Amino acid sequence: MVAWKNLDTLESYKALQDTKGNVNLTEAMAGQNGADRVKKYAIPMAEGLSYHYAAKKVDDDILEKLASLAKEAQLSEKFQELYNGAVINLTENRRVLHQLTRGQLGGKVMADGVDKREFYKKEQEKIAAFAKKVHAGEITNEKGEKFHTVVQIGIGGSDLGPRAIYLALENWAIANDTLKMQARFISNVDPDDPVGVLGGVDLAHALFIVVSKSGTTLETLTNEAFVKNALADAGLDASKHMLAVTSETSPMAHNSGYLAAFFMDDYIGGRYSTSSAVGNAILALAFGPDIFARFLEGMAAEDKLAAEEDPLKNPEMLDALISVYERNILGYPVTALLPYSQALSRFPAHLQQASMESNGKSVNRFGEPMNYSTGEVLFGEPGTNGQHSFYQLLHQGTDIVPLQFIGFRKSQNEKDVAVEGSTSQMKLCANVAAQMIAFACGKDDENPAKRFSGDRPSSIIIGEQLTPESCGALLAHYENKFMFQGFLWNVNSFDQEGVQLGKVLAKRVLAHDTDGALKAFAELLGI
């Protein structure tokens, strides 16, 4: 049995307290020593990726202590419990099974009387068969014409992950001639969102996927109604244009209003649902089921690495350990995620949810308050864009923000241009390498405004190219990282009680059941 203990009760955590200040990156990363660190402090990942932590404020001694922490916190055993189907999500009394959508790390997991791996596989097969019929023109609109656009209607986990991955692979799919349908996304209850998206969609040739696990998400049902009105106005039969992704017990299941329904379940949280039917339906329709299967292969391969016991061979675990070291020993409250890949433009927004919703908790998994900080603020934008924006603060601001870079040696497309003796891709890669050294080593100058203190930590994941496989591995890396962070902080990373109060109060506003400041604000907003 594993023991769930608060971080600050662990001996190995206490041993880390004394290491603060042991590594100054301006020294550690200088000269041959720096080159040696780059060589040594790296872990291979799946699908040609690798994780590099040379520019983090660690040394052999700290790494050894972090490995002790991993052991004492039983990170590996906890992950084993999770993938073998234990009820890890205590508050909601649920298993946590998103890994099963892409592989089987442990034993067979039975729940609700079914083999859950088989259940998820069956939904994948249903979706694949459906998508192939759509692509082949066997499932068509009322006039027998092929659909060419697919629109996801969902919010939060039903939006951010699938959207980020669609954008990550859209241009790859075009370059590889496998973009079957264009995908669009409607999420916000702001009516300007559906108006804007529908303005660019040819309704007669569009499929809409309504995604809500409970079948009761108010924003999503509202946008579904919005779209149904638009279809009716265009003289189209909504039931020929709409799919459902939901749980089998929801009002959206077994409902003749939908052309088809694909199922998820309560064992997969929204923010971990990209590999479930939530991401599967739209991505298989957009790219083809084979591409989605390759994406899942990448996830499964990285999941396997996450099951490795030694953190120095487990990039997810080490990334989590270092981030907790930065959060709790070094005291940095924010992390920036900076992919040097325009295709990953919305990847930070998805990981922002996955991280902050998972670990932004003030009580431990047993409901007890803790004496240490948990989940960090995560934000980011693609480089090189960010360099011309908020990097000023990252380099010279009064607070230190640890950085997570991502870079690929090749672009998704072969097209490039040479200016001043280098291609765009070379410039992109040169910039991310340069930034890591600029942050770590800094630079003195007689003009204090031009001084860079350095000693600002960063890591990087490097890959050959952003493909379905490497994209899957990348996503699995972060999903597992956030899980390990949650294990270390001893929080339940799989509930989200903090989103409830706002919903309750919003309903009261709409029912005009308010007083005091809430009524006053509502009136100012015209309600």
Q: Which of 64, 77, 170, 308 binds a second copy (CB under 8 A)?
A: 170
Alpha carbon distance 356, 166 (integer Å): 22
Please identify which of the residues 108, 313, 503, 507 carries the catalytic annotation: 503
Please list every residue from 267 through 306 that binds a second copy, using CB under 8 A.
270-271
- Least distance (Å) from a second copy to the CB of residue 214? 13
Task: Tell me which residues in 233-252 interact with a second copy (CB under 8 A).
Answer: none
Q: What residue has token string 């209607």?
A: 153
- Compare residues 258 and 494 and give the one whose CB is closer to a second copy: 494
DSSP state of 84: T
Of 9-68, binders to a second copy (CB under 8 A) are: 29-32, 34-35, 37-39, 50, 52, 54-55
Buried b (16+ CB within 10 A) or exposed e, 187-222: bebeeebbeebbeebebbbbbbbbbbbebebebbbe
Q: CA 437, CA 52: separation in Å to the nearest integer?
A: 13
Nearest-5° Cα angle at 240, 238 to 241: 65
Let me know if 395 is a catalytic residue.
Answer: no
- Selecting among 143, 368, 388, 512, the annotated active-site residue is 388
The nearer residue to a second copy, 20 or 451, going by C-beta atoms, is 451
Active-site residue, 56 included: no
Q: Identify which range of 101-109, 241-249, 334-342, 479-487 contacts a second copy by CB under 8 A.
A: 334-342
Residue 169 in contact with a second copy, rule: CB under 8 A: no
Interface with a second copy, residue 409, by CB under 8 A: yes
By beta-carbon proximity to a second copy, the closer residue of 255 and 373 is: 373
Contacting a second copy within 424-463 (CB under 8 A): 424-438, 440-443, 447-453, 460, 462
Shorter beta-carbon distance to a second copy: residue 307 or 505: 505
Size of the site for a second copy (CB under 8 A): 161
Give the full edge-to-edge strand order of the sheet including 182-186.
182-186, 149-153, 206-211, 242-247, 260-264
Whether the ω angle into residue 384 lies within 30 degrees of 0, i.e. cis, is yes
Of the candidates 47, 123, 316, 357, the residue annotated as catalytic is 357
Query: Judged by CB, which is closer to a second copy: 361, or 477?
Result: 361
**Of the candidates 143, 192, 235, 256, which one interacts with a second copy according to CB under 8 A?**
192
Q: C-beta of 498: minimal distance to a second copy in Å?
A: 4
Please state, in angstroms and rounded to a whole number, the distance separating the CA atoms of residues 367 and 363: 5
Selection from 69, 26, 49 nearest residue 470 by Cα: 49
Number of residues in the chain: 527
Of these, 250, 470, 480, 496, which contacts a second copy (CB under 8 A)? Answer: 496
Q: Report the nearest approach of a second copy to the CB of residue 243 (Å).
A: 20
**Cβ pair 242, 259 in contact under 8 A:** yes
Task: Give the Å distances, CA to CA, from 519 to 19, 218, 504, 505, 525.
Answer: 52, 21, 14, 11, 10
Rule CB under 8 A: say whether 369 interacts with a second copy. Answer: yes
Specify the stretch interacting with a second copy by CB under 8 A; choose among 7-15, 143-151, 313-321, 398-406: 398-406
Residue with tokens 């949280």: 269
Return all residues near 457 (Cβ < 8 A) that are at least 6 apart.
25, 55, 56, 57, 326, 400, 402, 403, 439, 440
Check residue 363 for interaction with a second copy (CB under 8 A).
yes
Q: Please give the positions annotated as active site.
A: 357, 388, 503
